[in-house]
C-alpha cells in the first residue's frame, strides 16, 4: 500500500497526538489492530505524547490504553475526567450538580428513553433492557440495576447517557437544549448515544488540562476525531484530522481528512508524520 501523502500545511514539530477512540482509532469490532498499535508505539518511541480522548468511562478505556502501552494521561467522560492510567487516580473530575442531574433524569425518563447514570466510574440503570445490555457489551463493563434512578441517586453523577434511535435522540437533544440551555453539555458520542455532562465539560477542556500537566501546547498537537462530541477536541488542537467516516460537521471543520477507521487512517497519518524523522 502506498504511503499516505500529508498536505503541505501538516505540522512538522508535533509533540502530542490526541485521538478519540470509537470509530476513530478502533472500528466496530472494538479492537486495536496491529498497524495502529505499531504506529502508536513508534510515536511514543519518537517522544510524542499520545493521549486518548474519549466519552467512555475510565474503566472501559483503561484496557485499551494498557494494551497499547500508553502511560500518558487519559481524557474520559467527554473531558469530565482526566485520569492517570497507571495509578488509576482521577486528576480532574467534574460532576453534574445533583439537583440538575435529577431534573435531567425527569426530562429524559418522561420521554421514555433508556438512561444510563455514571457515579464514581460505575454504571447504574433503572432496569435491565436490551439497549442497556448492548451498551454494556459495547463498553465491556458491568452495570447495576437499581430501580427508580431518581430515588436512588444521592451523589452527583459524572454523566448521563440517553440511548435510543438516532433520529429520536436528535429530537430529544433539541428539546433538552431548549430546556437546559447552557446548564448542561449535550452532545452525541455515537449516533445512538446522547450524552449529558456539566457545562464545564468538553474534550477540549479535558485535553487542555492534560496538556498543562504533560507539557505540550495546542499548537504542538494533532487531534483525530469522528463525532459531534469531537468538535471541541478538534477546535483545541493546532491541527485537526477527521477520519473519512466522520460526522459531516467534523469533516467540515477538520484541516485534513484521512482514510476511514476501517483502513486504520489514524495509523496511516502517524506513519506519514514519522517518516521524515526516520530519514525516509
* Dihedral (Cα; 157, 158, 162, 167), 10-degree rounding: 150
Residue 109 burial (CB count, 10 A): 16
pLDDT at residue 49, as a whole number: 98
Residue among 159, 151, 123 at smallest CA distance from 138: 123
249 pLDDT exceeds 80? Answer: yes
SS3 1: coil
Whole-angstrom distance, CA of residue 85 vs CA of residue 193: 25
Three-class DSSP category at 97: coil
Q: Please compute the mean of the pLDDT values over residues 167-194 and round it to a whole number.
A: 93
Residues 109-117 have a mean pLDDT of 93
The per-residue pLDDT for 131 is 72
- Percent helix, strand, coil in the chain, to 5, is 40, 20, 35
The answer on pLDDT for 150 being more than 80 is yes
Q: Element (H or E) spanning 219, and its range?
A: none
- pLDDT at position 278 is 58
What's the rounded Cα separation, in Å, for the pair 263 and 5?
15
Amino acid 192: pLDDT: 85
Integer-rounded Cα radius of gyration of the chain = 18
Side by side, the strands of the sheet bearing 81-83 are 74-76, 81-83, 90-93
d(CA 31, CA 42): 19
Which residues is 224 bridged to in the sheet? 19, 241
Note the pLDDT of residue 277: 66
pLDDT at 2: 64
Q: Tell me the three state secondary structure of residue 158.
A: coil
Q: Using CA atoms, how far apart are residues 145 and 101, in angstroms rounded to an integer?
A: 18
Measure the CA–CA gap between 210 and 222, rounded to whole angstroms. Answer: 14
CA distance 138 to 130: 12
CA–CA dist 8, 242 (Å, integer): 17
Looking at residue 280, what is its pLDDT?
45
Mean pLDDT, range 239-255, rounded to an integer: 97
pLDDT given for residue 1 in this prediction:
56
Amino acid at each position: 500500500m502506498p504511503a499516505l501523502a500529508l498536505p503541505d500545511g501538516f505540522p512538522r514539530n508535533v509533540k502530542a497526538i490526541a485521538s478519540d477512540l470509537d470509530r476513530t482509532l478502533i472500528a466496530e469490532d472494538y479492537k486495536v489492530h496491529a498497524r495502529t498499535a505499531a504506529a502508536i508505539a513508534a510515536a511514543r518511541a519518537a517522544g510524542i505524547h499520545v493521549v486518548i480522548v474519549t466519552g467512555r468511562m475510565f474503566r472501559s478505556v483503561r484496557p485499551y490504553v494498557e494494551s497499547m502501552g500508553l502511560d500518558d494521561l487519559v481524557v474520559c467522560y467527554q473531558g469530565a475526567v482526566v485520569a492517570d492510567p497507571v495509578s488509576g487516580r482521577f486528576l480532574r473530575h467534574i460532576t453534574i450538580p445533583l439537583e440538575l442531574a435529577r431534573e435531567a433524569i425527569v426530562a429524559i425518563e418522561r420521554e421514555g428513553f433508556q438512561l444510563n447514570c455514571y457515579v464514581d466510574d460505575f454504571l447504574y440503570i433503572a432496569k435491565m433492557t436490551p439497549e442497556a445490555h448492548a451498551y454494556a457489551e459495547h463498553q465491556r463493563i458491568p452495570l447495576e440495576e437499581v430501580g427508580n434512578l431518581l430515588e436512588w441517586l444521592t451523589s452527583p453523577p459524572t454523566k448521563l447517557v440517553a440511548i435510543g434511535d438516532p433520529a429520536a435522540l436528535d429530537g430529544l437533544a433539541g428539546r433538552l437544549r431548549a430546556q437546559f440551555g447552557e446548564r448542561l453539555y449535550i452532545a452525541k458520542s455515537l449516533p445512538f448515544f446522547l450524552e449529558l455532562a456539566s457545562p464545564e465539560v468538553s474534550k477540549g477542556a479535558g485535553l487542555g488540562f492534560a496538556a498543562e500537566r504533560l507539557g505540550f501546547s495546542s499548537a504542538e498537537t494533532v487531534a483525530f476525531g469522528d463525532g459531534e462530541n469531537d468538535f471541541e477536541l478538534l477546535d483545541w488542537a493546532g491541527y485537526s484530522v477527521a477520519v473519512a467516516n466522520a460526522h459531516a460537521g467534523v469533516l467540515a471543520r477538520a484541516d485534513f481528512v484521512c482514510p476511514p477507521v476501517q483502513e486504520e487512517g489514524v495509523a496511516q497519518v502517524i506513519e506519514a508524520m514519522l517518516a521524515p524523522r526516520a530519514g525516509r
